Amino acid sequence: MITHLSPGYAPGVLWQETATPHPIAPQPLPDAVDVVIIGGGYCGLSAATELAQRGRSVAILDAHDLGWGASTRNGGMVLPDLKAGPESLTKRYGELGLRLHAAVEAAFDHVEHVIAAGSIDCAYERTGQLYLSHGQRAPAHLDALAIELASVGSAAHVVRGDALRAEVGSAAFSAGLVVERSGGLHPARFHAGLTRLAAAAGASLHPHTPATAVTQAATRWRVSTPRGDIDAEHVLLATNAYADSLVPALRRRVLPMGSFIIATEPLAPEVAQAVLPTGRMCFNDRHLLWYWRLDDAGRMVFGGRKRLGSVGLEEARDYLYQSMLEIYPQLAGTKVERTWGGQVALTLDRLPHCGQVGGLWYATGCNGSGVALNTWLGHRMGAAIDGEPLPAFAELPPRPIPLHSLRRVWLPVVSAWFHHQDRRAS
């Protein structure tokens, strides 16, 4: 398999190159604030805006540029998605299950509201999503999920045959579930908009300022950085998959997992129309899933992971190109312009978690669907730090990943099992 590369091909994040970050003037670190937020992605920025609007003094620290993590690298799919429908969640968690589902729907509404109210120019469109099954047998799980979503008033329907072909120009699938309440955006422009809102609310923003230690001093916290220390009443850890050794107990709760994306050259309008006539956000039903969409310039943006565990950028690129052609053989010869990767944060129960760890506030565990969720979690954690109730996810028992430090040993075994199951289901 030859991956066709455009003459200007380079590894790099398409979104970062096609957005203008909100300018941040260098400023000294404050000596003391009400809240220090560690991590300047969607979650940290949303928390900062909420807190600053409530009159709290806030400083955001990020080890890199704000947004350097997953928040400018993702697929831009705004999905009210918890990997399980409301009924399945209720079977597992009782009444809490319904509140978890309500939370993810609230997250979707919140993002649409922030974009509209904050006039964020991020090419947002409510496209709907298409969850596609390769299964040769009747994919009953799609029908079941449609019924579950309908039971809580979410418009969803299964498409097969001609209706399926009207959604996706591919013969690789036996059925698809259309969920209307989903959308797509430009991740880095959305991040730039959230940065503008946080700055306008009065938060102080400090890129290239890693937090190297957090220590308790009486009832307050001292956050150390190479640029000096900050004294704070509260600290929020908004580091998601990029949690480092700062708070080992938090790091052990998430498994960072690489996910990669290729972006092709813009497709000719008639080709784009043929491969994705309705412009939905698409993903399939494999353990090692693929996700894809068109961006606002008509590029095919196609993501996934070849296996759990480490994968080089070129290997990921070639795998994704080949996978794209499995779905769309008609795209053979289409040139790739960019490849990049980032980390998603997996948790044992595949759900986000938030609350307190050792007296520090935290929100983590996007499980690959954090554009809506982590934005909303940041907003709600900001309110919680100011005294409001915690989001429902705080009621889930935290479960450290077993043998976290030995994951390089056991991940290949899990990966092989996933491949086996995916092959059997196809």
Q: How far is 179 from 127, CA to CA, in rounded Å?
A: 9
Handedness of CA 83, 190, 377, 343 (dihedral sign): positive
Backbone angles phi, psi at 262, to 5 degrees: -110, 150
Query: What whole-number distance in Å separates Cα of residue 216 and Cα of residue 37?
Result: 16
- Closer to ligand FAD by CB, 40 or 86: give it: 40
Q: Which of residues 237-256 bind ligand FAD (CB under 6 A)?
A: 238-242, 244, 246
Burial of 244 from C-beta contacts in 10 A (0-12 / 13-18 / 19+): middle
Member of 36, 48, 51, 79 binding ligand FAD (CB under 6 A) = 79
As a whole number of angstroms, the distance between CA 369 and CA 183 comes to 12
- Smaller CB distance to ligand FAD: residue 174 or 261? 261
Amino acid at 397: P
Shortest distance, position 28 Cβ to ligand FAD, whole Å = 17
Nearer to ligand FAD by C-beta: 174 or 251? 251
Q: Is 37 in the site for ligand FAD (CB under 6 A)?
A: no
Rounded to whole angstroms, the Cα distance separating 254 from 366 reads 10
Least gap, CB of 239 to ligand FAD (angstroms): 4
CB of 333 to ligand FAD, least distance (A): 25
Residues 261-300 that bind ligand FAD (CB under 6 A): 261
Contact between residue 90 and residue 98 where contact means Cβ atoms under 8 Å apart? yes
Residue 58 binds to ligand FAD (criterion: CB under 6 A) = no
Does residue 36 belong to the site contacting ligand FAD (CB under 6 A)? no
For ligand FAD, the binding residue among 37, 41, 145, 360 (CB under 6 A) is 41
- Residue 139 or 365 having the CB closest to ligand FAD: 365
- The candidate with the shortest Cα–Cα distance to 237, out of 403, 229, 226, 248, is 248
Size of the site for ligand FAD (CB under 6 A): 43
Instruction: Determine the Cα–Cα distance for residues 35 and 33; give it in Å rounded to an integer.
Output: 6
Residues 194, 300: contact at Cβ < 8 Å?
A: no
Give the residue, chosen from 51, 70, 308, 383, that forms a contact with ligand FAD under the rule CB under 6 A: 70
Residues that bind ligand FAD (CB under 6 A): 38-44, 61-64, 68-71, 73-77, 79, 210-211, 238-242, 244, 246, 259, 261, 303, 342-344, 366, 368-372, 374
